Amino acid sequence: MEAAPPRNPPRGDNQFRGTGEFSPSLLGALPIAIAIIMVTLSLSSTTIARGDFSMLHQIPEGHVGAYWRGGALLKTITDPGFRWKLPLITQFEPIQVTIQKDEVRDIPCGTKGGVMISFGKIEVVNRLRKEYVYETLLNYGVQYDKTWIYDKIHHEINQFCSLHSLQEVYIDVFDQIDEKMKEAIQADCTRYAPGIEIISVRVTKPTIPESVKRNFEQMEEERTKVLIAIEKQRVAEKEAETQKKIALAEAEKNSQVSRIIMEQKLMEKNSAKSQQEIENEVYLAREKSLADANFYRVMREAEANKLKLTPEFLELKFIEAIANNTKIFFGDKVPKMIFDQRLLGNFLTQVDHKED
């Protein structure tokens, strides 16, 4: 009877052969382990600094979280706060969605006349809308502002300078550069990157060559002198106009005072005239009354006298008159008039004829 062949010991992935060699299953798993180690080492060089070894991470307020897995951007966009991710495999980046300010410095450009100038700083206030974060990062990456703000500012400033002279860029249209840069950048962003909103652009005064700067300063001094002279002339005109207005006001005041005084005197004259007219009317009425009364008295006396003119009454009055005219005569011949009855008869006869 033959002896049974010896049994081979069981092979395992973690066991070694009796001869000191690795088992075939262990040799097959070795490349996979090496590949995992290589991938881990390659990822660790870019993820250690960002803490991608941890599962818990924080998104600050004013930002949203964007995630990449194997270099591919995920559509997952998270809000501020503590979030979870797969360590080493998933990377994240906080993306600011509030208003931020980008400063572009030292921008050289050449004017239309060939003079080289430099803008020291241009500030661009902008914002990335939250609903466009994924689309913007997918098309332009995390450094989207480099493409649409930094590089765009350089381009637009050079375009602007090439179309204008130094006088225009430095003085005449300098106040328009801010608005023109904002409109130009916003127009391209609206067309190609609608998530980027340009709020404002502030351009500082450019640096120009010293020789040209001195010329501009001299021109500004002369312009200032002219403005001062114009302002002095304007002040003198205003003073003259003020003096004229004061004189006119004074003359008008005097005229009004004179007119008031004249009206007052006229009113006094009219009042005196009215008073005199009233007094004259009263006087005339009184005199008329007196005249009427006198006339009435005379008429009544005349009527009374007419009734009195009788021969007997006339004879009596004649005798009384003769008696009152007593005279003493000396001489041989004494007047006989008193005793002359014929004379008295003739007088009475004449009175009778007058009555008839």
List the domain boundaries for the chain: 36-93, 97-208, 222-305, 309-355
| The pLDDT of residue 160 | 93
**Identity of the residue numbered 245:** K
Q: Name the class of domain 97-208.
A: alpha beta
Tell me the mean pLDDT in the region 89-99.
92
Entry pTM: 0.49
| 238-270 per-position pLDDT tens digit | 999 999 899 999 998 898 898 899 988 888 888
Buried (b) or exposed (e) across 51-63, using 16+ Cβ within 10 A? ebeeeebebeeeb
| 103-149 per-position pLDDT tens digit | 999 999 999 888 899 999 999 999 999 999 999 999 999 999 999 99
- Cα gap 306→297, rounded to integer Å: 14
Task: With a cut of 80, say whether residue 271 has pLDDT above it.
Answer: yes
- Cα gap 267→336, rounded to integer Å: 77
- What is the rounded end-to-end Cα distance, in angstroms, of the chain? 232
| The pLDDT of residue 48 | 43
| The pLDDT of residue 307 | 75
